[in-house]
Chains A and B, each alone.
Chain A
Amino acid sequence: MTDFSRRRVLRGMLNGAAVSVALPMLNCFLNDNGSALADGRPIPQRFGTWSWGLGMSEAIFVPKKTGPNFDLPPEIAPLKPVQQHINLLTNFHVFKDAAPNLCHHTGWVILRSGIAPLTAQNRPGETIDVTIAKKIGNETRFKNLCANATGDVRDSFSYENGNSVNTPEWSPIRFYQRLFGEDFQNPNAAEFKPDPRVMARKSVLSGVMEESKALTKTLGAEDRARLDQYFTGLRDLERRFDLQLRKPDPLAACVVPGKPEDLPAGLDADLVSKRHRIMTELMLMAVACDQTRVFNMFYAAAFSGTTKPGYDKPHHTATHEEAVDEHQHCQPNVSWYTRRAMEEWAYFVQALASVKEGDGTLLDNVFVFALTDQSFAKTHAIEGIPMFTAGRAGGRVKTGLHIDGGGSPGTRAGYTAMKLMGVDAPSWGHQSNNTSKEIGEILV
């Protein structure tokens, strides 16, 4: 449909009062690839990440058995209810090559960007969620969403480039308002009322784009790149405006939740858990309502400051200061923190499995990659950094497996995700982290 005819139709609509649009007119607002209104339309594929801090206690984390029905050592015992929905990836490495081993930074940066960072401030490349969002995020209101359970606006593992972190949602109330506030178009609403100001907003936006181009001319190379990034944001806004003019397809899985309670600041493990669960509910409903197809949930930071009631050392401090108990084969308090993280990972997977979608659940139509920053945090080790996947990506992924990576690059997990989501990349990662080999064992 041309801009002219779309505009003419809309102007007609806008001149009316509250508009209830009949279905035939909606055909005007279908996107060009003609995603249909009919039932039986394909369920979209989604990609998610989940992250926890400070790795594992290998002796009580890594199962003895590989393949299906692997044993669950004490530190991952909380995963029992979701074992059939996940894959555990162990003995994969990240390689710093000539770069320094930057404490609590090198590991996660390589797993998410494929590149070893050179400094603690350095975030090279872009993270895989951003890469995948460029491929599958164009049909939804949000290309990509990030939320955390720490309540700290600085905690995010998603970035477009070194200077541009995707700011996470950190407050339940704010996240709720952003998702389900005024701009939310409920796909199951009886009436479709496009905001009559959308066309005007598009016109205003054209002027802003012109301003942006004019301003760019006066800048040096680096600032020009920043303005270009801003300009890309304007294009994305334009895309969102177009979406607002289309009636969303009904989605049975979409049930708008009630307004959540807001929570105080703090990193007490119980509070973090509560925040994680509220943010998870909101995030997954954003996915079920097709507000986003790429999502990042951040349970704890790399330098995790989670605290245990009555214990004076936060998680990170404990990893360095607590002695290894030879009988328990771990640092007991550190392991307590890791078990809390695994409980939350299990919660997250269960939450995905509890949202009915089509003949199955949301979990059947996602691929989630879970990662951390170290293998053994006490010594800042990055060899054998543990990872998980969850979900079946529309039946293309097998689950319930423990895979031994045999020392191969951990970037294979991210590469597998990219291939599953249709990113056309012959290989991914720099230097020793470069890979063109998916983790075939988990693919159907």
Chain B
Amino acid sequence: MVAVRGLTEIGVSNVPMLGRRWRFAGAAAGAVLLAGALAACSGGAGRGPQESDSPARARLMSASQYSQTIANIFGEDISAAVPAPLPPMPRTDGLLAAGAASIGLTSDQLGQLHQAATAIASKVVDEAHREFLVPCKPQSPKAADAECATQFISSTGRLLYRRPLPEARVTELVRIAGQTADDLKDFYAGLGTALEGMLISPEMLFVVDVPEPDPDNKGRYRLDAYSLASRLSFFLWNSAPDDELLRAAESGEIQTRKGRERIVDAMLKSSRLEHGVRAFFEDLFEFEKFNSLAKDAMAYPAVTGSTLADAREQTLRTIVDHLITRHEDYRDLYTSRKTFMSMNLAAIYEVPAVDGWVPYEFPEGSPRAGLLTQVSFLASHAHPARSSPTLRGKALRELVLCQKVPPPPPNVDFSLLEDPDASLKTARERLAVHASNPSCAGCHLITDPMGLALENFDGAGRFRDNENGAALDTSGDLDGTEFKDVDGLNVALRDHPMLPSCIVNRMYSFGVGGPVSMSRDRQILAYLKEQFIKDGYRVPELLREIALSAAFSQVRPPKPPKPDTTLASSTATAVQPADTNTR
């Protein structure tokens, strides 16, 4: 009964030994009945349109989710020491997160993940960490101890797999840990080996949505309790569920309307929310560009790698402070003068230098207001040695308003764009040729008028009042709203009708882990937008509304595959979507 003792210690004492992970099914089923009774009164455990759902997906964990999960389970120091070797996701409909459900894992990548697993495991069980990461002491550190190994493998495995390990798997890992411990005369080496295996398991690396029939909504499917816990956790925290969230899944509380509200509210209050919000905006604003961003040292000698790293951090701090700490209107992010300043950035913004990060507010009359005028946006959407109104306009359209700017045609006649004569001093003059060329004008008229409004900032984001000695004309219009300068552009963007729709669509997509479908998701997106407006464009409320929606937890099970012809599954049978007990 070693396994029972281990589980008791993590708070699951009343569960009979039913075998595999489904020993918890009884407790969960009881809660489901209760949930069903509640739902009968309230119309389902989820809010909003009851017909909306998303496909059940198998998402590969992202590098930042992997690192955050390791940090939460084993500590920041271990996470920081081992880079997460997960592949970069393909950006899909505006988000990397939406590509996680289609990307494959190559053999080479899995080899790297194994290398990371061995590095993590050896740190977890080393002398500096075992005291607080292994929940028990073996009888002898030089021999197997099945009881202690069971405790560690059950409790750690539950956090890594985001659900209890099947009993047979625990037994097998304990056996291997014991054998290795005896062979090497080292209990902890045995634990480390078992941990390596858990760290490369598909249950750890793939976040798989497990569907089950929805008792509140006949004929439909919902995520099982553990899958829902994972979806909530990766959405709001960018990390795997913690112990408390898994308990709520174990008890079935998470499947009740009241329970889910309590859990989501607690998650929104957690300090981990900042990780989730940062992850979303890093993805939305394509901050992966910063991993390889650099400026021409001759053109911008003051802009180093640390300056650009600080620029990214400045924007993330501004976002978290504005949306979470001060609970302000999302739209005001594009006009607010409040931000944070560091020593590196002070030189670029030409403000007094300070030590460390301090709050800073640009004075009235300063051209700096809102995210568009921060160095992160201006420098990452520009060339290494010059600004680019086109790249900036395109980024504004695509990242902030979710509009699509078509790529240039392959057969475009570039002869008109060849190095213009030296009399053309400003980007506006140089870009004028695009507007006069029909094959260019279509797209450049979409991007350039707003990009040109940012021409008071050079390719590194420094302010300038002229270009090559010529005065800058920063007037323009954004979808019918005319403006005279960058302040006007900021206000036009703040009041643009696509601004709220864009963040609603992207945030919902981020939450359910795949691209939205404008036909299938129309109802839920309209509902969320309406709520967002009603809530005064507050992002925590939007996160809450998404997390509590029926659409968030209802899924469409995968279609059964054709008779198996695949390499690996000689013993696999056709999919049984309703039979979640097989997972």
- Please report the C-alpha to C-alpha distance between residue A323 and residue B291 in the assembled complex, in whole angstroms: 33
Residues of A within 8 A of B87 (CB): 164-165, 167
For residue B193, CB closer than 8 A to chain A, the reply is yes
B106 with A208: CB separation less than 8 A:
no
B291 with A153: CB separation less than 8 A:
yes
For residue A24, CB closer than 8 A to chain B, the reply is no
Residues of B within 8 A of A396 (CB): none
Please name the residue on chain B nearest to A152 by beta carbon: B292
Residues of A within 8 A of B104 (CB): 160-161, 163-164, 225-226, 229-230
Residues of B within 8 A of A311 (CB): 385
Pairs A–B under 8 Å by Cβ, sample size 13: A144-B108, A160-B107, A166-B106, A167-B85, A167-B112, A197-B189, A207-B197, A212-B202, A221-B559, A230-B202, A233-B106, A312-B296, A321-B419
Q: Which of A121, A309, A313, A320 meets B298, CB within 8 Å?
A: A309
Q: Which of B169, B293, B568 meets A227, CB within 8 Å?
A: B568
For residue A268, CB closer than 8 A to chain B, the reply is yes
- Please report the C-alpha to C-alpha distance between residue A409 and residue B271 in the assembled complex, in whole angstroms: 59
Residues of B within 8 A of A220 (CB): 56, 557-561, 575
For residue A355, CB closer than 8 A to chain B, the reply is no
Q: Which of B179, B205, B297, B419 meets A200, CB within 8 Å?
A: B179
For residue B407, CB closer than 8 A to chain A, the reply is yes
B414 with A320: CB separation less than 8 A:
yes
- Interface contacts beyond A217-B569, A230-B206: sample of 8 additional A-B pairs, CB < 8 Å, sorted by A: A150-B292, A153-B291, A215-B206, A220-B575, A224-B566, A227-B202, A232-B567, A237-B111
Most chain A CB within 10 A, of B108, B176, B559, is at B108
For residue B43, CB closer than 8 A to chain A, the reply is no
Report the interface size for chain B: residues with CB under 8 A from the other chain: 87
- Please report the C-alpha to C-alpha distance between residue A264 and residue B67 in the assembled complex, in whole angstroms: 23
For residue A91, CB closer than 8 A to chain B, the reply is no
Within 8 A of A (CB), among B528-570: 557-562, 566-569
Residues of A within 8 A of B135 (CB): none
For residue B462, CB closer than 8 A to chain A, the reply is no
A226 with B559: CB separation less than 8 A:
no
Within 8 A of A (CB), among B370-406: 383-386
A223 with B558: CB separation less than 8 A:
yes
For residue B110, CB closer than 8 A to chain A, the reply is yes
B562 with A221: CB separation less than 8 A:
yes
**Residues of B at under 8 Å CB distance from A?**
56-58, 60, 83, 85, 87-88, 90, 101-112, 114-115, 118, 169, 172-173, 176, 179-180, 183-184, 189-190, 193-194, 196-197, 200-203, 205-206, 208, 210, 291-294, 296-299, 304-305, 383-386, 407-408, 410-411, 414, 417-419, 557-562, 566-569, 571-573, 575-577, 580, 582-583
Residues of A within 8 A of B202 (CB): 208, 211-212, 215, 227, 230
For residue A261, CB closer than 8 A to chain B, the reply is no
Q: Which of B106, B203, B566 meets A211, CB within 8 Å?
A: B203
- Please report the C-alpha to C-alpha distance between residue A58 and residue B504 in the assembled complex, in whole angstroms: 50
Q: Which of B111, B292, B414 meets A233, CB within 8 Å?
A: B111
A197 with B193: CB separation less than 8 A:
yes
A312 with B111: CB separation less than 8 A:
no
- Please report the C-alpha to C-alpha distance between residue A307 and residue B385 in the assembled complex, in whole angstroms: 9
B105 with A233: CB separation less than 8 A:
yes
For residue A103, CB closer than 8 A to chain B, the reply is yes
Q: How far is the CB of A222 from chain B (nearest CB, A)?
A: 8
A178 with B112: CB separation less than 8 A:
yes
Please name the residue on chain B nearest to A198 by beta carbon: B193
Residues of A within 8 A of B107 (CB): 143, 160, 232-233, 235-237
Residues of A within 8 A of B85 (CB): 167
Residues of A within 8 A of B583 (CB): 214-215, 217-218
Q: Which of B200, B417, B567 meets A208, CB within 8 Å?
A: B200
Please name the residue on chain B nearest to A321 by beta carbon: B417
Q: Which of A216, A320, A322, A380 meets B569, CB within 8 Å?
A: A216
A322 with B419: CB separation less than 8 A:
yes
Q: How far is the CB of B222 from chain A (nearest CB, A)?
A: 15
**Residues of A at under 8 Å CB distance from B?**
11, 14-15, 100-103, 120-121, 142-146, 150-154, 160-161, 163-167, 174, 178, 182-183, 196-197, 200-201, 203-205, 207-208, 211-237, 240, 264-268, 305, 307, 309-314, 317, 320-323, 378-380
Please name the residue on chain B nearest to A141 by beta carbon: B111
Please name the residue on chain B nearest to A266 by beta carbon: B294
Most chain A CB within 10 A, of B196, B296, B299, is at B296
Residues of A within 8 A of B561 (CB): 219-221, 224
Please name the residue on chain A nearest to B413 by beta carbon: A379
B410 with A101: CB separation less than 8 A:
yes
- The total of interchain contacts (Cβ-Cβ below 8 angstroms) comes to 255
Given the known A-B contacts A174-B83, A229-B105, A378-B414, are A219 and B558 also in contact in the complex, defined by CB atoms under 8 Å? yes
Given the known A-B contacts A201-B193, A219-B208, are A323 and B384 also in contact in the complex, defined by CB atoms under 8 Å? no
Q: How far is the CB of A300 from chain B (nearest CB, A)?
A: 13
Residues of B within 8 A of A305 (CB): 384
Please name the residue on chain B nearest to A323 by beta carbon: B418
B568 with A103: CB separation less than 8 A:
no
Q: How far is the CB of A413 from chain B (nearest CB, A)?
A: 24
Please name the residue on chain A nearest to B582 by beta carbon: A217
A142 with B201: CB separation less than 8 A:
no
Residues of A within 8 A of B210 (CB): 218
- Please report the C-alpha to C-alpha distance between residue A201 and residue B60 in the assembled complex, in whole angstroms: 23
Residues of B within 8 A of A164 (CB): 87, 103-106
B568 with A14: CB separation less than 8 A:
no
B90 with A321: CB separation less than 8 A:
no
Q: How far is the CB of A234 from chain B (nearest CB, A)?
A: 7
Residues of B within 8 A of A378 (CB): 414
Please name the residue on chain B nearest to A209 by beta carbon: B568
B571 with A213: CB separation less than 8 A:
yes
B90 with A231: CB separation less than 8 A:
no
B103 with A213: CB separation less than 8 A:
no
Residues of A within 8 A of B582 (CB): 214, 217-218
Q: Which 5 A-B pairs have the closest CB atoms?
A: A220-B558, A266-B294, A233-B110, A204-B197, A231-B568
- Please report the C-alpha to C-alpha distance between residue A314 and residue B297 in the assembled complex, in whole angstroms: 13
A321 with B108: CB separation less than 8 A:
no
Residues of B within 8 A of A102 (CB): 410
Residues of B within 8 A of A313 (CB): 383, 385
Residues of B within 8 A of A154 (CB): 88
Given the known A-B contacts A142-B111, A226-B105, are A268 and B83 also in contact in the complex, defined by CB atoms under 8 Å? no
A228 with B568: CB separation less than 8 A:
yes
Given the known A-B contacts A204-B193, A312-B386, are A218 and B575 also in contact in the complex, defined by CB atoms under 8 Å? yes
Q: How far is the CB of B433 from chain A (nearest CB, A)?
A: 11
Please name the residue on chain B nearest to A333 by beta carbon: B419
Given the known A-B contacts A196-B183, A201-B193, A212-B202, are A321 and B418 also in contact in the complex, defined by CB atoms under 8 Å? yes
Q: How far is the CB of B356 from chain A (nearest CB, A)?
A: 23
- Please report the C-alpha to C-alpha distance between residue A180 and residue B498 in the assembled complex, in whole angstroms: 52
Q: How far is the CB of B82 from chain A (nearest CB, A)?
A: 11
Q: How far is the CB of B4 from chain A (nearest CB, A)?
A: 21
Q: Which of B83, B114, B291 meets A152, CB within 8 Å?
A: B291
